[in-house]
Structure 1
Amino acid sequence: MYAPNTPPFGPTAGLSTLDARARDIFRSIVESYLANGEPVGSRTLSQRGFSLSPASIRNTMQDLTLAGLLAAPHTSAGRIPTHAGLRLFVDGLLEIGDLGTEERREIDARLAANSGKHGGRGFEEALNEASALLSGLAGGAGIVASPVRDAGVKHVEFVALGHDQALAVLVADDGTVENRLMPLAAGVTPSTLQEASNFLNARLKGRPLAEARSEMRGELDAARRDLNVAAARLVEDGLAAWSGGPERERALIVRGRANLLHDAETAADLDRVRTLFDDLEQKEQLIGLLDGVNAAQGVRIFIGAETRLFSLSGSAVIAAPYMNGRQRVLGAIGVIGPARLNYARIIPLVDYTARVLGRMLDGQDS
């Protein structure tokens, strides 16, 4: 028997510090909580095949509580896992399932219908559909951060609009066109405009603007020797004017907010959902969180206070990057919901959907 108030594992317990009894009881409590959201008492556990008395189970539950893995939501209630307990369970005890054939076919078909092929309406529609699809299949809110645009430059050109104004035109490989009005110094001739255009086309073509622009900063001094003063000024102004890929406005797509209300039965639950709704309006922070997923090789999970954004609502995020055929990450997709999400089901769901999106970006909707 454990010594009172001196658990055999400390406040930052890991699985290796749990004995077999503690591990089995901990697993049973977490699995029950994830299934129905209710606190689990010692008597309930004793009826599930544990060859221990309710008193022995209570002692172990108390040790797990002192270790920070369980909490008692009410004075006389059973126990539920803390966010630290959920993290320990997810990292060490969770048995991840797999998607069935029918689910894979549904994801493939619904995204293919919106991928720009077979009468679809483009990749943006596929992102919307992916968010809605995840929301429907996972039961939480589906979220998608749109890709960082970094298509290579196809063509640039400076066009005079009058004696004191020019239009800086950038055409990207993906067909997007960016026009920026620029002041034009007195005396600039058509040949000067062409000289500046030729200079940039030679150095930008086929390269993402942001990448080329950062590398060209060191070349501008040399450029001033190769170009006349007016053309060099145009080059600098043009590079500053075009926003390019990564700096363009990013879209955040959220679908299925209503799903978050389904399990809200108490006033405290409703308060948490309202807080989560407020969190979902923090576009820049959410995109920042999803961009943080980009460094991961696969699915990442954030639970409660592990992210400042969801520390008050106690929500969880399961997200994965989607990438093109060159394995370069473009964005991220995921599910947000209460901390007791069905991790075993949602992890493979998010992972597979992210991979399908990546293939479609390269036109591989197989």
Structure 2
Amino acid sequence: MTSPLDSPDSSRQGGLARLNERSRDIFRHIVDSYLASGEAVGSRQVSRLLPTPLSPASVRNVMQDLEEIGLIYAPHTSAGRLPTELGLRFFVDAMLELGDVGPDEREQIEAQVRARPHDGSLESALGDAMSLLSGLTRGAGVVATMKEDLRLKQIEFVRIEPERALAVLVAEDGSVENRILRIPSLLPTSALIEAGNFLNARIKGRTLPDVRFEIEASHAAAEQELGELTARLIDAGLASWADSAGGGPQLIVRGQANLLQDLTAIEDLERIRLLFADLETKKDVIDLLSRAEGGEGVRIFIGSENKLFSLSGSSMIAAPFHDERQRIVGVLGVIGPTRLNYARIVPMVDYTSKVVSRMLQGR
């Protein structure tokens, strides 16, 4: 009997990524059964569902290994197995095969959202979209709009995965908005902290676009000043540009003896050094602000991951919608039990958010 892990000494996280095919099949059947009925499934039932014959005893051994790495659990003694929150997250992230929105449902969504005239109430149109999602998915539809002129009190960037970070925006009115961002995998965590400190010194009482505009203007002015200072040193024969090993240009300073006799040149060189450091900081901050304004597509929150409602045993599938300037102005989605039909509901929420975005962009 083989272990579901290719390496017995793998960590839990590594183990999830290296489940063998047999273990994935058994795990998939446990999750599929749970999503369909909400009930635990036993080894004998799973053995009958597998495409390749396997004895109940062999299935039990695999289920025990799946339980040890936290993917499934027994609700009570001698019961079958159910997926854990970690198991559902692994299934959604690594194994979920999304369906598509059928022609009839697309037509229904389009008709319902666009039924309101262009001069109609946005709240009414969004209410229609919420009711439609609720009816189509048998979950609770939810819509949250954002203030375009939301004035911020604080901002923080928290890395949650190598290439994903959470932007926490705290408004002056006490509301909190979380946005998932994609970040470069090589971006150090210290850069996120520095960006947050940099912004918090400037952002109080202002909107995100306002601060971004100011930093971009400051960045452009610094680049112009840097160009003028380096040109002055190069014209004086005290420095030159050269290609560096990293691929970018490098300022080479020469004639240090002459520099020491020229206080203006020394001041220019120090100013250039400070500008280089300042530009690098602003570049990282501008990049993070751009990502925070853009956000991401459909998000799935399972069980206790759903901090907004703090509901154990629930899931939320949500997607942002955008205005004509591609700014996120709201989020719509569906809340229901953790055994939602993710394969069907995820594309439906995604499609509805796109229809609402097109409606707003055409108003």
TM superposition score normalised by structure 1? 0.57
> Is 2:361 aligned against 1:359?
no
- Whole-angstrom CA distance in 1 between matches of 2:292 and 2:137: 19
The aligned counterpart of 1:274 is: none
Following the alignment from structure 2 to structure 1, what is the Cα–Cα distance between the partners of residues 24 and 209?
54
1:300-344 CA deviation, whole Å, 9 max, x = no partner? 111112233455522111111101233211111111111111100
Describe the shift of the 1:57–1:216 C-alpha distance in structure 2 as closer, same or farther (beyond 3 A). Answer: closer
- Contact in 1 for aligned 2:294/2:327 (Cα 8 Å): no
**Inter-CA distance 294–128: structure 2 relative to 1 (3 Å threshold):** farther
2-structure distance, mates of 1:9, 1:81? 21
Secondary structure in 2 matching 1:106: helix
User: Please, what is the CA RMSD of the aligned residues?
Assistant: 3.0
Letter in 1 for 2:59: I
- 1:129 CA drift (Å): 0.6
Q: Secondary structure at the match of 2:75?
A: coil
Matched residue, 1:67? 69
Match of 1:135 in 2: 134
The residue that corresponds to 2:20 in the other structure is: 19
1:96 aligns with 2:95: no
Structure 2 residue aligned with 1:168: none
Partner of 1:33: 34
Work out whether 1:328 is the aligned partner of 2:331: no
**Secondary structure of the structure 2 residue equivalent to 1:47:** helix
Alignment of 1:269-284 (within 5 A): none
- 1:123 offset after TM fit, Å? 1.3
Residues 14 and 88 of structure 1 are in contact (CA less than 8 Å); yes or no, is this contact kept in structure 2? Answer: no
1:233: which partner in 2?
none
Q: How many angstroms apart in 2 are the aligned matches of 1:106 and 1:307?
A: 29
* Aligned residue in 2 for 1:113: 115
Q: Which amino acid letter does the alignment assign opposite residue 13 of structure 2?
A: T
Q: Does 1:146 align with 2:148?
A: no
Answering whether residue 348 of structure 2 is matched by residue 346 of structure 1, we say no
Change over 3 Å in CA distance of 1:141–1:63 after alignment to 2 = same
Q: Any stretches of 5+ residues in structure 2 without a counterpart?
A: 151-205, 215-290
What is residue 177 of structure 2 aligned with on the other side? none
* Structure 1 residues 105-153: Cα deviation after superposition (integer angstroms, max 9, x where no partner): 1001011113x34xx73211011011111111111111001242349xx
Task: For 2:133, give the aligned amino acid.
Answer: L
The superposition leaves residues 30-89 of structure 1 with CA deviations (integer Å, 9 ceiling, x where unpaired) of 111111111111000111144110000000001000110001112121111001000000
2:48 maps to a residue whose letter is: Q
Q: Aligned pairs, how many?
A: 229
> Is the aligned partner of 1:45 residue 2:64?
no
- Please report how far the alpha carbon of residue 296 of structure 1 lies from its aligned counterpart in structure 2 after TM superposition: 3.6
Q: Which amino acid aligns with 2:323?
A: N
Given that 1:293 and 1:321 are in contact with CA atoms closer than 8 Å, whether structure 2 keeps it comes out as: no
- Whether the 8 Å contact between 1:69 and 1:84 is mirrored in structure 2 is yes
> Contact 1:294 / 1:332 at 8 angstroms: preserved in 2?
no
Distance 1:37 1:7 in 2: 31
- Displacement, 1:2? 5.5
Alignment partner of 1:39: what SS?
coil
Q: Distance in 1 between matches of 2:209 and 2:60?
A: 64
- Cα distance in 1 between the residues matched to 2:318 and 2:293: 10
Gaps of at least 5 residues in structure 1 are 152-208, 218-291
How many Å separate the matches in 2 of 1:216 and 1:335?
35
Residue pair 1:13, 1:67 contacting (<8 A) in 2 also: no
> What are the Cα deviations for residues 192-216 of structure 1, in whole angstroms up to 9, with x where unaligned?
xxxxxxxxxxxxxxxxx94798799
Structure 1 residue ranges (4+ consecutive) displaced by more than 3 angstroms after TM superposition: 6-15, 209-217, 292-296, 307-312
AA matched with 1:129: D
Q: Distance in 1 between matches of 2:12 and 2:61?
A: 16
Contact 2:298 2:320 in 1 (8 A): yes
Q: Report the Cα distance in structure 1 between the residues aligned to 2:95 and 2:331, rounded to whole angstroms.
A: 26
Q: How does 1:212-227 map to 2 (within 5 A)?
A: none
Alpha carbons 2:306, 2:316 under 8 Å: kept? no
Percent sequence identity over matched residues? 54
Cα pair distance change 1:347/1:327, threshold 3 Å: same
The residue correspondences of 1:235-314 to structure 2 (distance < 5 A) are 296-314=295-313
Distance 1:42 1:294 in 2: 48
Q: Quote the Cα distance in structure 2 between the aligned partners of 1:29 and 1:361.
A: 42
Q: Distance in 2 between matches of 1:90 and 1:11?
A: 17
Question: 1:9, 1:18 within 8 Å by CA — same for their partners in 2?
Answer: no
Secondary structure of 1:308's counterpart equals: coil
Is the contact between residue 15 and residue 92 of structure 1 (CA under 8 Å) also seen in structure 2? no
Letter in 2 for 1:319: A
Note the C-alpha offset of 1:15.
4.1
Deviations along 1:3-37, one digit per CA (max 9) or x if unpaired, are: 8xx96654335543211111110111111111111
Equivalent pair of 1:144/1:333 in contact (CA under 8 Å)? yes
Against the structure 1 CA distance between its residues 129 and 72, is the aligned structure 2 distance closer, same or farther, given a 3 Å change threshold? same
